[in-house]
Amino acid sequence: MNNKIMMKTPLVEMDGDEMTRVVWAKIKEIVLDPFVELKTEYYDLSIQNRDATEDQVTMDSALATKKYGVAVKCATITPNAARVKEFNLHKMWKSPNGTIRAALDGTVFRAPILAKGITPLVPSWTKPITIARHAYGDIYSAVESKVPQGGKAELVVTDADGNETRTIIKEFPKTDGIVMGMHNTDASIRSFAKTCFEYALDQGIDLWFSAKDTISKTYDHRFKDIFAEMYEAEYKEAFEQKGITFFYTLVDDAIARVMKSSGGFLWACKNYDGDVFSDMLATAFGSLAMMTSVLVSPDGYYEYEAAHGTIPRHYHKYLKGESTSTNPIATLFAWTGALARRGELDHIPELTAFAKKVEQVTIEAVEEGFMTGDLALISTVPNKKVLSLDEFLKEVASRV
């Protein structure tokens, strides 16, 4: 008799590269397949298949996410010159995450997985700090120029009727210099703010937003105003009902507060701040292998993944037939995040309960000393047992 949990709508499954592709297959085989009749629409985002399909497969997987609403993604290689040579690629294909993010107009939320024994570098952080990075504009799509001595730089804005407004940036009479022009759009800031408000409501956590409006009185101030207007008009009531708060503060004040906090909130960051602070948070919470990542679109589509990459050093050992102690937790939690969401949307409470159970027993295993090598290095639990990838997944499955 088959008493596996049945699914209704398929999950969009985006397979990937190298060691994480190995981890992917083992998670399905050892932890998921015995309990769930997995229903997925499979997209192979391996570098070989992206090359063979001229990257169409990446776009197709993003469109499928819009159709079904929930995706789970394996880490993928973003080609650079060395990878183009290694795989004899037709082109230096773009980052799949960038393509998917652009297609879904999404915001990336990163949250650490906490376990006793793995103490954050900041001891007061007892609850996770989730960071939301606005992944559009600012210095990431800026234009830059050198200015030779004697030159000047001006900002020229031309309106739809051709009228110009000119502002002197700087005259350089005595020395060479540099200038940069960056932009953002109200539409992008609005969808960023919307996704952050919705995520905070969904998770029942406070929302902080930080920028530097005292110095940047037009640019950063626009971000501040848009968040404030949307909060007043659309979210204030819902936040009050949920008992959560939204507040804006200067980015340097935010950092001071974050360091003194006990965690448990969502921190919405401008593009550069999010890039920098998310790496700081990942390290301070213990391990990149314990950092989850979810792309949320303003239309309510979700794509779950691990924050780390394809772990090539482990893959080369694996190819030589050696056993590796690769940590599957962030990739496993991408699956459980996606299955729990699917369960909620399709009203299959046993699917959501199964996903939560897997998360709970995974953390219990680590707290009782069963862990992979990366965690053994930082865990303070006594009598640690360092397990291989397979052994750790079997330990988790046996506890489910």
Which bin fits 340, alpha (ψ -120 to 50), beta or left (φ > 0)?
A: alpha
Footprint (CB under 5 A) of Mg ion, residues 279-298: 279
Using the rule CB under 6 A, give the single segment among 70-78, 114-122, 196-204, 260-268 that binds ligand NAP.
70-78
Smallest distance from ligand NAP to CB 334, Å? 10
- Alpha-carbon distance of 285 to 307, in angstroms, equals 13
Smallest distance from Mg ion to CB 279, Å? 4
Using the rule CB under 6 A, give the single segment among 72-80, 105-113, 158-166, 236-244 that binds ligand NAP.
72-80
x/- map, 27-66, ligand NAP, by CB under 6 A: ----------------------------------------
44 part of the interface to Mg ion, by CB under 5 A: no
Q: What is the DSSP string of 283-320?
A: HHTS-GGGEEEEEE-TTS-EEEEESS---HHHHHHHHT
291 part of the interface to ligand NAP, by CB under 6 A: no
User: Helix H segments across the chain?
Assistant: 18-26, 47-52, 56-68, 81-86, 96-104, 186-203, 219-230, 236-242, 251-260, 271-284, 312-319, 329-345, 349-367, 373-376, 389-399
78 part of the interface to ligand NAP, by CB under 6 A: yes
Q: List the Cα angle 76/203/399 in 5-degree steps.
A: 65
The nearer residue to ligand NAP, 267 or 304, going by C-beta atoms, is: 304
In this chain, which of 76, 107, 292, 379 binds ligand NAP, going by CB under 6 A? 76
Q: List the Cα angle 225/231/233 in 5-degree steps.
A: 100
What residue has token string 């007892």?
Answer: 126
In this chain, which of 44, 60, 275, 368 binds Mg ion, going by CB under 5 A? 275
Q: Which helix (H) or strand (E) holds 269?
A: strand 265-269
Contacts of 392 (CB under 8 A, 6+ apart): 325, 327, 328, 365, 370, 371, 372
From ligand NAP, Mg ion, none, interface partner of 133 (C-beta below 5 to 8 A by class): none
The nearer residue to Mg ion, 158 or 283, going by C-beta atoms, is: 283
- Alpha-carbon distance of 399 to 112, in angstroms, equals 22
Smallest distance from ligand NAP to CB 396, Å? 14
78 part of the interface to Mg ion, by CB under 5 A: no
Q: Quick one: tokens of 208?
A: 């902080």
Footprint (CB under 6 A) of ligand NAP, residues 359-388: 374
292 part of the interface to ligand NAP, by CB under 6 A: no
Smallest distance from ligand NAP to CB 365, Å? 15
Using the rule CB under 6 A, give the single segment among 30-38, 71-79, 161-169, 272-280 that binds ligand NAP.
71-79
Footprint (CB under 6 A) of ligand NAP, residues 299-358: 305, 308-313, 326-327
The nearer residue to ligand NAP, 271 or 352, going by C-beta atoms, is: 271
Amino acid present at 93 = W
Footprint (CB under 6 A) of ligand NAP, residues 103-162: none
Smallest distance from ligand NAP to CB 162, Å? 44
The secondary structure of 83-118, three-state, reads HHHHCCCCCCCCCHHHHHHHHHCCEEEEEECCCCCC
Q: Quick one: tokens of 69?
A: 């609403």
The nearer residue to ligand NAP, 36 or 75, going by C-beta atoms, is: 75
The nearer residue to ligand NAP, 76 or 195, going by C-beta atoms, is: 76
Smallest distance from ligand NAP to CB 15, Å? 12
From Mg ion, ligand NAP, none, interface partner of 310 (C-beta below 5 to 8 A by class): ligand NAP
Amino acid present at 188 = S
Neighbouring-strand partners of residue 6: 37
The nearer residue to Mg ion, 56 or 283, going by C-beta atoms, is: 283
Amino acid present at 47 = I
The nearer residue to Mg ion, 41 or 279, going by C-beta atoms, is: 279
- Alpha-carbon distance of 169 to 22, in angstroms, equals 53
Helix 329-345 with 18-26: angle, nearest 10 deg: 50
The nearer residue to ligand NAP, 82 or 143, going by C-beta atoms, is: 82
Residues forming contacts to Mg ion in the complex (CB under 5 A) are 275, 279
